């Protein structure tokens, strides 16, 4: 091993000049089609603006904050059994999980354009409801149920 790979600097998105939104766009992007991903996110923000009659940026930030988990479970083999060990989620992983869960929840819905589904999921998450919030609660419940194995975390 020759050391850690340096973190890449993400350039802010062109419309809102926000690194957070640029990261979200990168998570949505498939096969290097950044323009398509940007169109999806910006259309989503327009829909949020129409529906809530408010600036979409605080709604987005609140949704990310609400969906980001504090704890998760990691599988670890100890002796003959596999244990689900609760582990605190820190920094970038929290953001990555929030993005992943929001996008997965939007994709799971059927019969609407992605921007529409994403807007609905972001609005729901900012109100502490929706599929992404349910996923977060499920993960928290799993961690809580396996709290007895927390001493294995290392």
In a domain, 4, yes or no: no
- Does some domain include residue 76? yes
Q: Model confidence over 21-77: pLDDT tens digits?
A: 999 999 999 999 999 999 999 999 999 999 999 999 999 999 999 999 999 999 988
What pLDDT, on the 0 to 100 scale, is given for residue 153?
A: 72
- Under 8 Å CB-to-CB from 97, ≥6 apart: which residues? 67, 68, 69, 72, 89
- 12: in domain: no
Within a domain: 9: no
147 found inside a domain: yes
Residue-wise pLDDT for 75-95, tens only, equals 988 888 888 889 999 889 999
Assigned domain for 31 exists = yes
Residue 66 structural domain: 19-152
Could you tell me if residue 30 is inside a domain? yes
* Residue 125: inside a domain: yes
Helix (H, G, I), strand (E, B) or coil at 19: helix
pLDDT at 28: 94
Q: What is the CATH number of the domain that holds 138?
A: 1.10.455.10
Contacts of 44 (CB under 8 A, 6+ apart): 56, 114, 115, 116, 118, 119, 122
Please count the other Cβ atoms lying within 10 Å of the Cβ belonging to residue 52: 16
Number of domains in the chain: 1
pLDDT value at 102 more than 90? yes
């Amino acid at each position: 091993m020759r050391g850690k790979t340096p973190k890449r600097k993400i350039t802010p998105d062109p419309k809102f000049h926000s690194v957070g939104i640029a990261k979200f766009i990168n998570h949505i992007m498939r096969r290097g089609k950044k323009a398509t991903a940007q169109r999806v996110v910006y259309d989503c923000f327009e829909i949020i603006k129409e529906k809530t009659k408010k600036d979409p940026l605080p709604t987005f930030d609140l949704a990310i904050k609400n969906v980001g988990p504090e704890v998760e479970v990691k599988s670890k083999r100890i002796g003959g059994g596999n244990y689900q060990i609760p582990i605190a989620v820190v920094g970038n992983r929290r953001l990555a999980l929030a993005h992943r869960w929001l996008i997965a929840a939007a994709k799971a819905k059927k019969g609407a354009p992605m921007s529409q589904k994403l807007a609905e999921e972001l609005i729901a998450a900012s109100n502490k409801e929706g599929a992404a919030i349910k996923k977060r609660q499920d993960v928290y419940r799993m961690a809580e149920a396996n709290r007895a194995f927390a001493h294995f975390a290392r």
